[in-house]
Structure 1
Amino acid sequence: MRIAVVGCGAMGSVYAGRLSAAGHDVLVVDSWADHVHAIATSGLQISGPDGDRVASIRAFPTTPHEVVDLVVLAVKAADVSSAAATLGGLIGADTVVLTIQNGLGSADEVARHVGADRLAVGIASGFGASLVAPGRVHHNAMRAMRFGSYADLAFSAVDRVAEAWRTAGFDARAVDDIAAMQWEKLICNVAYSAPCALTGLTVGEVLDHEEMGPVSRAAATEAWEIAKARGIAVDVDDPVAFVRDFGAQMPAAKPSALLDHEAGRVGEIAVINGAVPREAAKVGRLAPVNATLTALVRTREAGFGGRPNR
């Protein structure tokens, strides 16, 4: 399969490197000049629990005019709209666009630029990845990738995408209801993203913290209640037990929101905790816990000076 990965940060690099190593024809697009140069001259070096490898990949600082079978949009949520607007040269009549971001709302931006009928939405769960240096990425785990149609993309087309990822060693599967899975991940993310970013605590430390533990659980419960009010068929009966089980699997983990703050970067809180009050408003509800957490994070980020998010 001919694949373009647009946004070659930590996660995008893992996707591109493993897909290329599996025999797919992969190119990457990223604005970080040093990273692009390193990949183009020395290959993309990937290290992880299943060993080290180097993938030979073509790399570009701007989107080339080269039609591919699959475009993987792996930029941060804040860059989705501008990146999606550049994809035209990669898209032919049968090209599928797969967008993979945290939270809710990014796919709507992508659909406006590329069309809803060719769009698939991806969810990455249980991953930890970091860029070690230009051209070098490390990942800690690869628990699950789930893909679904944004609108009317045929299930068979989504399954072909999942099969490409399975050949690269991912636990990948096409699902009928991607919205439910997005919300299930969101319930976990809101429990830890803002609380960790605001306090510097890891997931496990928040889980058992005397003050932040109840806040974390309240954020998750509120998101679960809004999902139910929105008619989302989440497979969660007890949101507190759900997020406790999730956190117990990775107690030492730092959510991306905390990693962004440690680097002085503006993160994606607007599509994580910030998504809950927006979704609540659609059914005439309020989400004060997540609204407050979002406001606190955004206030803290106002002092970062708009440093780029990678």
Structure 2
Amino acid sequence: MKIAIMGCGATGSVYAGLFASAGHEVWAIDRWAEHVEAMGRKGLTLTGASGERTVPVNATTDPAEAPECDLVIIATKAMDVAEAAEAARPLIGAKTIVMPIQNGLGSAERAVRILGRERVKIGVIGGFGASVPEPGHAHHNGWDLVRLGEVSGPASDELKNLEAVWTDAGFKAQCFDDLDGMIWEKLICNVAFSGPCALTGLTIGEAMASPEASVVSLWCAQEAFNVASALAIDTGVKDPARHIRAFAAKIPDAKPSLLLDHQAGRRSEIDVINGAIPRAGLRVGVPAPVNESITALVKEREKTFGGQGSKASQE
């Protein structure tokens, strides 16, 4: 297949490295010129949970340089999805599948508004703990499940074929019929660590081990669970505290993308992660004061930051 990664930062580079290693023609597209130049000159090096490899990829800052692709993965930050979807138009043919994979809520809707419901599929990942130590090199601490779903309705044959593409590249992938459930299951983990780790500077494992920070993480997760339950969304989670502890145990050394953003002086996706919980809670009369406070504190800190930059990585 011809596969384009729009936003080939941290997690996007994990996709690119493993798909290229499996023999696909990969186009790594990103605005970070140094990363693109390094990938084009010496290949993409991927280290971490999936092993170590250096693979050739087609790297560019301009989507118009790439051909029409079979699969376009939008791996940008949530606030950049609309721009990436517009920029991806030269890559899209009659049978192209577009898959936005972001943290938080709302990315699928942005892609659908621009590219149409008929070509968009949804991806949800968690537990990768990806980062870019240097241009041309991505590292990931975990390698958890890639959840695939339709914008609405049960998994189609097309989506099941796409599941096989991911699986053959070494990912643990699975189709789900309940899109909302898989998004909120991940969101429970995201809110537990994204804002709290950004504010404290702690890794996921350190936050869970801290008596003080873990209380905040647990309350963030509990509030998300409460809102999902009030929305009648089946996340498959019975005990949110146990759920996030199990998540943390898989990638204790990982830094959530919000922490990586703050360390680089970039604004983050806080509005679609912790900030999404009080907004959703308002619709069903469920308060979420801890997530609301975390969001306010993160946004206050980010007033001192510059632009978002193109090197943003996704957990």
Tell me which residue corresponds to 1:281: 282
- Partner amino acid, structure 1, of 2:2: R
Matched, 1:60 2:60: yes
Tell me which residue corresponds to 2:71: 70
Tell me which residue corresponds to 1:122: 123
- TM normalised by structure 2 equals 0.92
Contact 2:154 2:178 in 1 (8 A): no
The change in CA–CA distance for 1:18 and 1:251 in structure 2 (over 3 A counts) is: closer
Gaps of at least 5 residues in structure 1 are none
Contact 2:268 2:308 in 1 (8 A): no
Tell me which residue corresponds to 1:4: 4
Which structure would you say has the larger RCO, counting Cα contacts within 8 Å and 6 or more residues apart? 2
Cα distance in 2, alignment partners of residues 9 and 153 from structure 1: 31
- Partner amino acid, structure 1, of 2:54: V
Q: What do you get for the CA RMSD once the two structures are aligned?
A: 1.8
- Partner amino acid, structure 2, of 1:216: S
User: SS where residue 141 of structure 1 aligns?
Assistant: coil
- Residue identity over aligned pairs, in percent, reads 48
Contact 1:218 1:289 in 2 (8 A): yes
Cα distance in 1, alignment partners of residues 208 and 257 from structure 2: 17
Cα distance in 2, alignment partners of residues 39 and 249 from structure 1: 29
Question: What is the Cα deviation at residue 250 of structure 1?
Answer: 3.1
Tell me which residue corresponds to 2:294: 293
Contact 2:192 2:218 in 1 (8 A): yes
Cα distance in 2, alignment partners of residues 154 and 120 from structure 1: 10
1:78-107 superposed Cα distances (whole Å, 9 cap, x missing partner): 211111111211112211111111111111
User: SS where residue 73 of structure 2 aligns?
Assistant: strand
Gaps of at least 5 residues in structure 2 are none
The change in CA–CA distance for 1:80 and 1:51 in structure 2 (over 3 A counts) is: same
Question: What is the Cα deviation at residue 246 of structure 1?
Answer: 2.2
Which runs of at least 4 in structure 1 moved beyond 4 Å after TM superposition? none
Tell me which residue corresponds to 1:252: 253
Matched, 1:13 2:13: yes
- Partner amino acid, structure 2, of 1:226: V
Query: Which region of structure 1 is more displaced relative to structure 2, 196-205 or 215-224?
Result: 196-205
Question: What is the Cα deviation at residue 307 of structure 1?
Answer: 4.4
Question: What is the Cα deviation at residue 217 of structure 1?
Answer: 1.5
Cα distance in 2, alignment partners of residues 52 and 205 from structure 1: 26
Question: What is the Cα deviation at residue 7 of structure 1?
Answer: 0.7
Q: Summarize the alignment of residues 59-138 of structure 1 with structure 2, pairs less than 5 Å apart.
A: 59-64=59-64, 66-138=67-139
Matched, 1:141 2:132: no
Contact 2:49 2:143 in 1 (8 A): no
Cα distance in 2, alignment partners of residues 92 and 196 from structure 1: 41
Tell me which residue corresponds to 2:199: 198
Cα distance in 2, alignment partners of residues 168 and 178 from structure 1: 23
Tell me which residue corresponds to 2:162: 161
Question: What is the Cα deviation at residue 50 of structure 1?
Answer: 4.5
- TM normalised by structure 1 equals 0.93
Tell me which residue corresponds to 1:25: 25
1:179-232 superposed Cα distances (whole Å, 9 cap, x missing partner): 211101111111111111111222233224333332221111111111011111
The change in CA–CA distance for 1:207 and 1:154 in structure 2 (over 3 A counts) is: closer
Cα distance in 2, alignment partners of residues 208 and 53 from structure 1: 33
Contact 2:222 2:240 in 1 (8 A): yes
User: SS where residue 146 of structure 2 aligns?
Assistant: strand
Question: What is the Cα deviation at residue 48 of structure 1?
Answer: 2.8
Matched, 1:182 2:183: yes
Contact 1:47 1:138 in 2 (8 A): yes
| Aligned positions, number | 310
Cα distance in 2, alignment partners of residues 118 and 145 from structure 1: 19
